[in-house]
Structure 1
Amino acid sequence: MNYLKTIFLLFLLLSSCSSDSSIGPRVNQDDDRPDDSDPVYYSADEFIMGADLSYVNQILDHGGIYSVDSEIQNPYKIFADHGTNTVRLRLWHNPEWVQTEVYEDPEKPLYSGFDDVKRSMEEAKAQGMAVNLDFHYSDIWADPSHQNIPAAWIEITDIEELKDSVYAYTYQTLEKLNEEGLMPEFVQVGNETNCGMMFTNAPEGFPPLNGCDGYWDNLGAVINSGIQAVLDVAAGSEINPKIILHIAQPENTEWWFENIMSEGGVSDFDIIGISYYSHFSDTPLIELDDYISTFRDKFDREVMVVETAYPWTTENADQYNNIFGQSAIEPNYPATKEGQLQYFIDLTQAVMDGGGSGVMVWEPAWITSDMKDLWGTGSSWENNAFFDYDGDLHQGINFMTTDYEL
């Protein structure tokens, strides 16, 4: 460990001598991390310190253990105790494949389905955290390359029927949650909708929603249906959720919002949500603040990084290959716990400098366990988590309680 510290300190020294492009507060040179003995806790109204914990229930159900200084604890409490003020949760329409294809067990929970998300929301709110509910409008992952139609809607051929289906589903979901005191504080209408929604497995006759093919009017109509459902439920709730529209990577954001607002007629939303994974992006971290400032000024909306991650190691804890390997490592940020922490400190300060409203880290609790998905058992993300390979919390999470210049 002393050897790693020495290398890291030399790396920082050389970097500081050769470049003035670093941003944010620097790591404490005495122990490779900021002094967290006097942590600063931010409220969700002040700045979102968020974590996507969508996998936690499944991990707990399949042998995963979370601890702090080797003491086993409730993971939701761990995050709340260490500065997390908002939990992000994905919602799939009807993920039956979890039972039929992954576990081949009809008794298994439909993870990321309604009941599972409700369970997570209860846990998060019990710990005093806000919730960002992320509607994927799909039975499975929605991202820039995969926007599959839910099986229940795949035979729809009329745009009005599709709008009604999106409205009814969104409304009924939120109404059920509201009745149980679980109204989310934030709602994402779609996930990484770079070209649109519900288009990658679209049969002939399904209303086209691909903005990249010019169907902004249809896409805008469907998004507006989801937005209207949020507004209608909020009218009878004590909580009025802020509505987020979400695009992957800053360089895609301005073009998308120009089109969805002008051609799609979408205006009733509060937050521009961005995924920022630096090695997938054309935007270097030192330019992120300028992008955020530009979006705020041009669109008169809040801006938030709703997905991000960085590795603390390139080693594996299990046989499930990791998504982030050596190619994900950025200059000035080695794949160490200290390097991960500094990356998040600098990213968070950049978001603040640009006038942004928050940062949400994607699946920082996806540790290895006996959980399964379609591609493996364990985790393909454990090297990005805030827990070591014994499930013990490490210092990466301390970026949430660092003293920033707001």
Structure 2
Amino acid sequence: MNLKKSVVFGLACVSFAAFVVGCGDDPASSPDFTLSSSSCHSGLDSESSSSSVSLSNAEGSSSSLNTDSISSSSLQNDKSSSSRYSELDSESSSSKQVSSSSSWSGAIGSSSGLNTNSSSSSSSQNDKSSSSRHSGHLSSLGGDDPESSSSLAPSSSSALPVKIDFFNGADISEVQEYERNNTKFYDVDGKESDIFTILKNHGFNSIRLRTFVSPKTKYGYAASGCGHDAEAYGDKEHVVAFAKKVKAAGMGLLVDIHYSDVWADPGKQIIPERWRNVNNADAMADSVYTYTKDLMNALKAAGATPDMVQIGNETTPGILIHKPNSNTDCWGNGVDKAATSVNGDMGTAAGKANAAKYFNAGIKAVKEVSPTTKTVLHIERIRKSETVNWWMGVIFDDYKIPADVMGFSAYTAYGDGAPDNWKSLFNSLTSKYSKLEFIVAEYNGGDSDNHYNFDGSRKKTREVVRGMNRWIGTFFWEPTIGGAWGAGLFDWKGKDLYANAKAFEEFY
């Protein structure tokens, strides 16, 4: 359903807008979540190891058809800047507006409603990357050491594994960038603390961190001029440094690997720059394997072995599908389809087979480093049960991908409905896939752009999920940020973040 993912970081903040239109609701139509087609360059990944990966797939791709084709325009967004989804569902009658703020001053992500410090808005629903995220410019600030932080240190220094019965988590990937600006955090009592302690004080026990392959490259998350270029946030070094803090705080860790240099979601799954010369699926799978294993080894060596690892982000259309062109923007919108020999577009028979190889390669790498780490696959579109059933049928029934956990994005503001609406689908999946565990990898509870009704739906999300067999967690998406997906849990006051007491009431 992938996708659960508008403000650009900059002293002069620029708003863009992008949407991906869902279409093809007829279950008899063939799935095609990709954009325009094009050919891929030939050549092997120079960073790949020489060893090949032995991947066993159940051949015979499914003839099942997708219920939702998705196309994209090159306007805006992605989780990277804030307006969450770069998708405008065809069922929506109106587009979501995305607010943007022009400076660090002001309450930017107020959980009490719309951002009062917005300077402009665009009329399309976007990805988390471009929305009313947070409009602060980081490139001119100090603090180049990813290990350093002006924020208070977590109260616990233990890096030992934590026994977690249910992952009550939050994705706080953006916080590392705020730390560079010496952002301070305050709990509901007004006392300064660190982000981990505040979240733990309100019942959170786990953190989700995203990672990109080479975010400083052209078209990457931290490319020059894209608002995050002060440092290569999201790369291996930054993720390892932040993961060490998570473990030091005694919290569980889910690492979300995008397998891209920029946001990956239903509108785009862009092949990383260093893999774009790969010309066959086996070599691409080897690149996935080598990269994943290197990341896992680095995390393990740092004492931050993840409890769970996502093999891809919101991969409803597939994985490693696209390549950028001269029109591609900072959020990855406006792309071409890579060659059939390598793209993992699940709208085609060849793409399904390729995607299966890539998922298998990532899972294999994780398990070789840490057999106890759970591997997660992740999609959106839970409002379309036909799509969910189609996708899981291809991946688990046809190709027998050995993932441990299936994750979903669940956003009321994107048309997924209220938590009670999810019960039927979630329970049916539990019954059908008896060997899988499940999580809601992203949720907010907001009902519209940067707004939450305080109707208890956030608490209800956890209660509904926890009450079902083999559902092991929920992860709130970016509590420090408000956008098209809903409001955050903190209020911005200048460059500092204050926990919103009313918002946190549902998390005790």
How far apart are the structure 2 equivalents of 1:47 and 1:104? 33
Aligned partner of 1:360 among 446, 465, 475: 475
Shift of 1:265: 3.3
Aligned partner of 2:504 among 397, 400, 404: 397
Where 2:403 maps in the other structure, the secondary structure is coil
Matches within 5 A, 1:74-223: 74-96=194-216, 97=220, 98-102=222-226, 108-201=230-323, 202-204=337-339, 206-214=341-349, 215-223=351-359
Shift of 1:76: 1.8
Alignment of 1:295 onto 2:429: yes
How far apart are the structure 2 equivalents of 1:221 and 1:152? 19
Contact 1:53/1:365 (8 A) holds in 2:
yes
The one-letter code sitting in structure 2 at the alignment partner of 1:101 is G
- Residues 233/182 of structure 1: CA separation in 2 closer, same or farther (3 Å cut): same
In the TM superposition, what whole-angstrom CA distance separates every residue of 1:30-53 from its partner, at most 9, and x where no partner exists?
xxxxxxxxxxxxx86321100001
Matches within 5 A, 1:221-300: 221-235=357-371, 240-250=372-382, 251=385, 252-266=387-401, 268-300=402-434
TM-score (norm 2): 0.59
For residue 349 of structure 1, what is the aligned residue in structure 2?
A: 463
Shift of 1:285: 2.7
How far apart are the structure 1 equivalents of 2:441 and 2:418? 17
For residue 388 of structure 1, what is the aligned residue in structure 2?
A: 491
Shift of 1:99: 4.9
For residue 47 of structure 2, what is the aligned residue in structure 1?
A: none
Contact 2:215/2:261 (8 A) holds in 1:
yes
The one-letter code sitting in structure 1 at the alignment partner of 2:498 is D
For residue 139 of structure 2, what is the aligned residue in structure 1?
A: none
Shift of 1:104: 8.6
Shift of 1:205: 5.7
How far apart are the structure 2 equivalents of 1:382 and 1:207? 33
Where 2:390 maps in the other structure, the secondary structure is helix
How far apart are the structure 1 equivalents of 2:484 and 2:415? 19
Shift of 1:147: 0.5
Shift of 1:213: 2.3
For residue 441 of structure 2, what is the aligned residue in structure 1?
A: 306
How far apart are the structure 2 equivalents of 1:351 and 1:241? 21
The one-letter code sitting in structure 1 at the alignment partner of 2:347 is C
How far apart are the structure 2 equivalents of 1:56 and 1:381? 19
Higher mean Cα deviation, 188-197 or 62-71? 62-71
Where 2:430 maps in the other structure, the secondary structure is helix
- Residues 249/203 of structure 1: CA separation in 2 closer, same or farther (3 Å cut): closer
How far apart are the structure 2 equivalents of 1:119 and 1:104? 17
How far apart are the structure 1 equivalents of 2:416 and 2:198? 34
Contact 2:240/2:299 (8 A) holds in 1:
yes
Contact 2:299/2:305 (8 A) holds in 1:
yes
For residue 376 of structure 1, what is the aligned residue in structure 2?
A: none
How far apart are the structure 2 equivalents of 1:205 and 1:211? 11
If each structure's helix is expressed as a fraction of its own residues, which one has the higher value?
Answer: 1
In the TM superposition, what whole-angstrom CA distance separates every residue of 1:54-79 from its partner, at most 9, and x where no partner exists?
00010121253320122222112211
The one-letter code sitting in structure 2 at the alignment partner of 1:397 is F
For residue 71 of structure 1, what is the aligned residue in structure 2?
A: 191
How far apart are the structure 2 equivalents of 1:285 and 1:135? 26
Shift of 1:350: 1.5
- Residues 277/103 of structure 1: CA separation in 2 closer, same or farther (3 Å cut): closer
In the TM superposition, what whole-angstrom CA distance separates every residue of 1:344-403 from its partner, at most 9, and x where no partner exists?
11121221233322110000123xxxxxxxxxxxx74796211123322123234333xx
Contact 1:159/1:218 (8 A) holds in 2:
yes
Contact 2:321/2:345 (8 A) holds in 1:
yes
How far apart are the structure 2 equivalents of 1:167 and 1:398? 42
Where 1:384 maps in the other structure, the secondary structure is coil
- Residues 102/62 of structure 1: CA separation in 2 closer, same or farther (3 Å cut): farther
Higher mean Cα deviation, 70-79 or 301-310? 70-79
Shift of 1:302: 1.1
Contact 2:186/2:193 (8 A) holds in 1:
yes
TM-score (norm 1): 0.73
For residue 37 of structure 1, what is the aligned residue in structure 2?
A: none
How far apart are the structure 2 equivalents of 1:103 and 1:365? 17
Shift of 1:158: 1.1
The one-letter code sitting in structure 2 at the alignment partner of 1:179 is A
Where 1:392 maps in the other structure, the secondary structure is strand
The one-letter code sitting in structure 2 at the alignment partner of 1:348 is R
How far apart are the structure 2 equivalents of 1:204 and 1:188? 25
Contact 1:253/1:274 (8 A) holds in 2:
no
Alignment of 1:56 onto 2:175: yes
- Residues 344/217 of structure 1: CA separation in 2 closer, same or farther (3 Å cut): same
Higher mean Cα deviation, 192-201 or 67-76? 67-76
Structure 2: 5+ residue stretches without partners:
1-161, 324-336
Where 1:157 maps in the other structure, the secondary structure is coil
The one-letter code sitting in structure 2 at the alignment partner of 1:79 is L
Structure 1: 5+ residue stretches without partners:
1-42, 313-323, 330-334, 367-378, 402-406
- Residues 347/141 of structure 1: CA separation in 2 closer, same or farther (3 Å cut): same
Contact 2:405/2:437 (8 A) holds in 1:
yes
